[in-house]
Amino acid sequence: MSRLLVTGGAGFIGANFVRYWAEKYPSDYVCVLDALTYAGNRQSLEPLLAQGKVVFVQGNICDQPLVESLLREHRIDTLVNFAAESHVDRSIANASPFLETNVTGTQVILDAAKDYGVKQFINIST
């Protein structure tokens, strides 16, 4: 049995992954961390949440104490990162959120994964 933390798991691709994983590996534990920005939609996970197959936490991957507490408290052994700013038009208007999430946020979860003994880190990048 694996214990996954899926960041960006309420986005289009992340939510589809979470639904796939919960169906294919029903005995695995899945915790979703998502900031619910313009790309996230908690409703896409609602059936799984209602059935108790997934735990949802609203938060940002840049929040190091939050990420560390999730890894520790949920005993996560696999981290799958879908959290990313990906709309090119938005990046032209303001690059800061892209750098913060895609670079700093990824560093935060990588460091936390290393410090808390995560065995697998899978990064999905746009």
Residue length of the chain? 126
pLDDT one-digit tens code per residue, 26-41? 999 999 999 998 888 9
106: pLDDT strictly greater than 60:
yes
Tokens 């049995």 belong to 1
In this prediction, residues 91-104 reach a mean pLDDT of: 71
pLDDT one-digit tens code per residue, 3-19? 999 999 999 999 999 99
98: pLDDT strictly greater than 80:
no
Exposure string over 66-96, b if 16+ CB within 10 A, otherwise e: bbbebbeebebbbbbbbbbbbeeeeeeeeee
Structure token pair of residue 65: 């104490």
pLDDT at 112: 97
Structure token pair of residue 27: 């005995």
100: pLDDT strictly greater than 80:
no
Tokens 């589809």 belong to 16
CB 29 within 8 A of CB 3: yes
Structure token pair of residue 28: 């695995």
pLDDT one-digit tens code per residue, 51-88? 999 999 999 999 999 999 999 999 999 999 998 776 56
